[in-house]
Structure formats: C-alpha cells, structure tokens
C-alpha cells in the first residue's frame, strides 16, 4: 500500500500539524505502508507537477495548519494543480484523509474545505483529524492525543485496504453538471507535460517574451496595413494645401509609430511633403497615429490637438497656428 502525505504548512518548528503527521506516518509504517511525504513549501516552484505523484498512491493525506484563515496558499495551489493537471480517473480511486490543526479559529471549516475539494475532484473521503492547539508541547505530552492519531491511521489503513464504499456526495454531482473546467480535452500524458511546462520558470518567461514580440509584430502590421509607410498622409496634405501669401516655414511631424518624421516645407505657393529629417524646423510636433488620423479626417485641428494634450509641440506658436490655415482638413470635411 502506498500513501502520500502533502503538508501545506510553513514548516515552522512549533507547527502542531508536523507532530500529527509524524505520528501518523510512524503508525502507518508500522503497518508496512510505504509512506512518501511532500512538503509543499519546499516544492513551491514545482507544485504544478505534483499531481503526477498521485499515480502510484492508494491514499493520500492532505495536512495543513490554520494560522490565521483558511487552508493556506501552498495547499490551495496544490489543489488547483490537481484540478487543472491531475488525472481525474486516477484521483477517483484515491482515498484522502484531511488533517488540519489550528493555532487560531477555523480548523473545522478548513477540514471541510479539504474534503469538499477532494470530492469535487472526484476522490474518495476518509475520516480526518482537526483540532485547536494553543501549545504544541501540550499536544506532544498528551498520550490520549497520540492514541487518537494512531486510531485514525488504523482506520485509514482499513478503509483503503478494504476499499470501503461511501455514499455519493452532492459535490460530485455538482462537478458533473456545472463545474467542468473550460479547457481542451487532453490525455493524462499531455496534461502532465503541460504541468511541467507551467512549472518551468525559464520556459514560461520565454513564452511571455515570444508573445510580446508577436504582439509588437502584428501591431506594426495592422498599423501599416494598406498604407506605404513612406507615402502615408502625403497625398492628404497635398490635396488640402491652401497657400498663404508670403508665408515661409518648415514643420517636422513626429508620429510615434513611424521611424521617420514627416517634413513639411512651405514657401509661398509651393509645398514639399516627404518623410525624412529636418535639421532646424521652425516647429516640431509629436503625436500618435490615432491623433493624426483625427486631424487628416477633419475631426480635429492641429490647435485643438495641442490644447487637448493629444499633441506636443516645440517652436514658434504663431507658425503652429498657421498650420490649420495651410491644411484646413476640418473645413474641407465640412464642405464635403
């Protein structure tokens, strides 16, 4: 017979749960049971792979300590891993004995939570142990407590050895009706492999970097879709250009998503528009593609973009204001 013990406490010296599972393990080994113990605080980086250890188990012990509220993070992570990556067919044949010792209020609720979680997973229940222990020394010196633990170990051994049946629980019925996880159907082997990937920090980090790289790539493709990056917006500016007599100025428009700036050179009735560099423009503007789209579609003027904060500028403000006279996108839109 193989029984695994999963301890979800912090491993501190005066944890009463440690004494209980040590005593339980001692009795089980006297009954020639092969006992393997997993301290979850030592396996915190590989908890997602622990459901694989259920393969050869006939029964398990879920042991934790209530220090302030609930069953604790490590035990919750283990149960989550069983739900996501565990072999449900194998779990359905495994008996579970919950052990919860408390140094504060809530041991009965925590014991019930462990039993409920295991039943929702499809597992079989065993009678467990719970209690409030203010001082671990009093627990170790009380022979009656040791006798109770021994009896619980023997009962667990009999339950597993005789494959004792139990009445169906409503938790299992609920699982079948509404608690089916929304995931693709995977074989137990595929599920185990996935759990190994999840626990591999290097692999997870590499996947995140790949996703970020792909996101940036597709974002760039979408932004440039249907438009030549060296020609975009040029035809729009040329189409609406309205010369101002005697006016001479140069503008550099920096669009966030573009590697080069859009340069506008105005000299009376002549206007040059191209992407490139301008050493000393009279006015520089910084805005993103969304703001530029609003302007060229006549839904916003350059001045309103500046006043609203959608565009930043550097240079002569009078020359900036002339930009809306030179390129009256809003006026053209209203006329159209």
Whether 160 is in a domain gets the answer: yes
Give how far Cα 260 sits from Cα of 41, 92, 241, Å: 53, 63, 22
CATH number of the domain bearing residue 284: 3.30.1050.10
The percent of residues in the chain predicted with pLDDT above 70, rounded, is 84
25 and 165 share one domain? yes
pLDDT higher for 123 or 223?
A: 123
266 and 139 share one domain? no
Whether 190 is in a domain gets the answer: yes
pLDDT in tens, 12-71: 988 999 999 999 999 999 999 999 999 999 988 889 899 999 988 999 999 999 998 899
Of 174, 199, 224, the last residue of a domain is: 199
Whether 204 is in a domain gets the answer: no
Helices and strands counted in the chain (H then E):
14, 11
Whether 205 is in a domain gets the answer: no
195 and 239 share one domain? no
Check whether 195 has a pLDDT greater than 50.
Answer: yes
CATH number of the domain bearing residue 110: 3.40.50.360
Whether 60 is in a domain gets the answer: yes
Give how far Cα 257 sits from Cα of 19, 20, 249, 279, 302, Å: 63, 63, 25, 21, 18
100 and 188 share one domain? yes
Whether 207 is in a domain gets the answer: no
255 and 180 share one domain? no
d(CA 242, CA 311): 22
Check whether 144 has a pLDDT greater than 80.
Answer: yes
pLDDT in tens, 248-283: 999 999 998 888 899 999 999 999 999 998 888 999
Alpha helix stretches (DSSP H) within 56-178: 73-85, 88-91, 107-120, 136-141, 143-161, 170-177
Check whether 73 has a pLDDT greater than 60.
Answer: yes
Give how far Cα 147 sits from Cα of 27, 73, 99, 154, 166, Å: 10, 30, 15, 11, 25
108 and 169 share one domain? yes
Whether 209 is in a domain gets the answer: no
Q: pTM for this one?
A: 0.57
Residue 217's pLDDT is what? 64
Of 144, 179, 199, the last residue of a domain is: 199
81 and 17 share one domain? yes
13 and 140 share one domain? yes
269 and 162 share one domain? no
50 and 168 share one domain? yes
**Count of other CB atoms within 10 angstroms of residue 42:** 11
Check whether 168 has a pLDDT greater than 80.
Answer: no
Whether 38 is in a domain gets the answer: yes
d(CA 180, CA 83): 10
Of 145, 179, 199, the last residue of a domain is: 199
pLDDT classification of 95: cutoffs 50, 70, 90: very high
Structural domains in the chain (count)? 2
188 and 241 share one domain? no
d(CA 257, CA 77): 42
Residue 232's pLDDT is what? 85
Check whether 300 has a pLDDT greater than 80.
Answer: yes
Residue 279's pLDDT is what? 84
178 and 322 share one domain? no
Check whether 287 has a pLDDT greater than 80.
Answer: yes
Q: Please give the residue range of the domain that contains residue 326.
A: 234-335
């Amino acid at each position: 017979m193989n029984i695994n013990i999963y301890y979800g406490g912090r491993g501190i010296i005066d944890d009463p749960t440690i004494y209980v599972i040590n005593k339980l393990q001692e009795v089980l080994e006297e009954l020639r049971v092969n006992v393997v113990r997993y301290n979850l605080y030592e396996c915190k980086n590989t908890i997602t792979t622990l459901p694989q250890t259920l393969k050869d188990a006939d029964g398990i012990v879920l042991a934790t300590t209530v220090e302030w509220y609930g069953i604790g993070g490590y035990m919750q992570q283990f149960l989550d891993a069983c739900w996501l990556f565990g072999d449900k067919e194998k779990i359905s044949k495994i008996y579970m004995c919950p052990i919860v010792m408390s140094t504060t209020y809530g041991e009965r609720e925590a014991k019930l939570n462990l039993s409920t979680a295991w039943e929702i997973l499809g597992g079989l229940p065993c009678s467990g142990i719970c209690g409030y222990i203010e001082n671990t020394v009093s627990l170790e010196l009380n022979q009656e407590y040791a006798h109770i633990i021994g009896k619980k170990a023997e009962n667990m051994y009999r339950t597993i050895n005789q494959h004792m049946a139990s009445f169906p629980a409503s938790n299992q019925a609920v699982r079948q009706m509404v608690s089916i996880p929304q995931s693709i159907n995977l074989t137990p082997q595929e599920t185990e492999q996935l759990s190994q990937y999840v626990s591999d920090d290097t692999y997870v980090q590499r996947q995140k970097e790949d996703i970020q790289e792909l996101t940036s790539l597709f974002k760039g493709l979408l932004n440039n879709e249907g438009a030549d990056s060296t020609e975009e917006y040029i035809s729009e500016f040329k189409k609406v250009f309205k010369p101002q007599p005697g006016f001479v100025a140069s503008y550099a428009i920096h669009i966030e998503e573009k590697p080069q700036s859009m340069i506008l050179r105005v000299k009376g009735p002549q206007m040059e528009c191209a992407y490139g560099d301008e050493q000393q423009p009279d006015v520089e503007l910084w805005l993103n593609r969304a703001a530029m789209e609003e302007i060229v579609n006549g839904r916003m003027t350059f001045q309103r973009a500046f006043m609203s904060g959608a565009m930043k500028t550097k240079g002569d403000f009078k020359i900036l204001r002339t930009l809306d006279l030179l390129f009256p996108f809003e006026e053209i839109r209203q006329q159209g």
